Amino acid sequence: MSGGWNTIESDAGVFTYLVENLGVKNVQFEEMISLDAYSLKQQSPVYGVIFLFKYPVGEKKTDEAVDGQYDFEASENIFFANQTIQNACATQAILSVLLNRGDLQVGDSLRDFREFTQAFPAELRGEALSNSELIRDVHNSFARSSPFIDEGTRAATEDDDVYHFIAYTPVNGVLYELDGLQPSPISHGSCSDSEFCDKIIPVLQRRINRYPATEIRFNLLAMIQDPRIRASEIGDVETVTREDDKRKMWTWENELRRHNFVGFTHEVLKNVVASNLKEGKYDEWLNGAKEKAKQRMEERIKKGKKGEDIDE
C-alpha cells in the first residue's frame, strides 16, 4: 500500500540489518530459545529485548496496568511514542530501545529524529515516527513481497490472530515496558543494566502466564552488541568466522524476502505441463493429481465425522 507500513517478520537477521540500514552501528539481534536469565546473560551486553505475542483484540482497556505501573511522568524524560499506524509496531519497539540508550551509536538520522521529537507528547512522537519516510522505507524494505496481501484493508476482529511487538529496556535505573498501544511507559521497578537479565525474566513469565497453557506463539529477540567486537578483542577467530557466516546467511535470506516468486512458480508449472504433454503423460499426470486430491478430501471427511461422534 503506497505510503503505508507493511508487516515484517520477527527475525534476528531482519532486525539486525534493519537497524544497520537506519545507521546504527555495532548492534545485533539474537533469538532467545530458552527463557532464562543464564541464557540471556550469555549474550551480554544486552541492551533490551523485543517481545512478540498474540494481542488480545477484545481485551478491555483499564486505568491501571495489568502488570507494573503506568509512569506518565517518564514520557517527558525518555523516548516513548504512541503507535498511531498499523504494522509499525516492530520498528517502533526497536526504536524504543535504541533511542533510550546513551551507549549506542544510532547514527545521525536517528539522533536528529530523537532530538526533533524530544519535546513532543507521546501521540505526536508516534505521528512523527509514522510520517518519517526514512524509517518507513527501511522498515518496508524488509517486508515479504506478495502480490496478494494488501495490508490494513480492514480492522482486526476478535477472531483474527493479531500479533504485537513491545520493548523492555532499563532506562535511568528503571525497567520499562514500552508498548505504543499503552498510554505511557510501564515501570517494573528499579533495574540497572547489570540486573536486567535477571529482572526481565519474571516479567516476561508473568505476561506469558496470562495466556492458556496451549498458547505457545511467543518470540523473544535480544538486542545485543555485535559479538564479533568482543571476539576480535580476545582473538577468538572461530566466533568471528561463525558470526560472519551467519551474516552472509541473513543477507541471502533478506534478499529472498524482497522477491515475489509467483512468476517463477508459474513458469515451473508451465514447464511441467509442457513436459508431460511432450511425453504423452499429461492425462496420466492429471488423473493422478485428481485421485490424490480426492483421497485427501475423503480423509478430511472421515476425520470430521470422527470429531462429530466424539462431541455427541
Provide the residue ranges of all domains of the chain, joining segments of one domain with +: 12-225, 262-311
Q: How far apart are CA 271 and CA 291, in angstroms?
A: 22
pTM: 0.77
Tell me which residue of 145, 185, 149 sits closest to 169, measured CA to CA. Answer: 185
Instruction: Name residue 254's beta-bridge partners.
Output: none
Query: What string of pLDDT tens digits covers the 312 residues of the chain?
Result: 346 888 888 899 999 999 999 999 999 999 999 899 999 999 999 999 999 988 776 666 777 888 999 999 988 889 999 998 888 899 999 999 999 999 999 999 999 999 999 999 999 999 999 999 999 999 998 886 544 344 444 444 444 467 899 999 999 999 999 999 999 999 999 999 999 999 999 999 999 998 888 888 889 999 999 999 999 999 999 999 999 999 999 989 888 877 554 454 445 556 656 665 666 666 776 777 788 887 877 777 765 554 444 443
Planar angle of CA 218, 129, 260, nearest 5 degrees: 60
Domain boundaries 12-225, corresponding CATH code:
3.40.532.10
pLDDT at 247: 93
Q: How far apart are CA 144 and CA 8, in angstroms?
A: 7
247's grid cell: 551474516
**Phi and psi of 295, rounded to 5°?**
-65, -40
Judged by DSSP in three states, 113 sits in helix
Q: Contact, 1 vs 86, CB < 8 A?
A: no
Q: Per-residue b/e over 71-80, b at no fewer than 16 CB within 10 Å? A: beebbeebbb
Cβ atoms within 10 Å of 81's Cβ, excluding its own:
25
Q: Contact, 69 vs 187, CB < 8 A?
A: yes
Q: Give Cβ neighbours of residue 50 (< 8 Å, ≥ 6 apart).
A: 10, 15, 29, 90, 93, 94, 97, 165, 166, 167, 220, 221, 223
Q: How far apart are CA 113 and CA 95, in angstroms?
A: 11
| Maximum Cα–Cα distance across the chain | 76
Q: What positions carry a catalytic annotation?
A: 89, 164
Residue 302, classified by CB atoms within 10 Å of its CB into exposed (0-12), middle (13-18) or buried (19+), is exposed
Calculate the CA 121 to chain-centre distance: 25
pLDDT at 8: 86
- DSSP structural state of residue 25: B
32's grid cell: 532467545
Q: Which residue has the cell 560472519?
A: 244
231's grid cell: 571476539
Tell me which residue of 84, 92, 95, 96 sits closest to 123, measured CA to CA. Answer: 84
The DSSP H or E segment spanning 306 is helix 282-311
pLDDT at 274: 65
Number of helices followed by number of strands (H, E) in the chain: 11, 7
Cβ atoms within 10 Å of 231's Cβ, excluding its own:
17
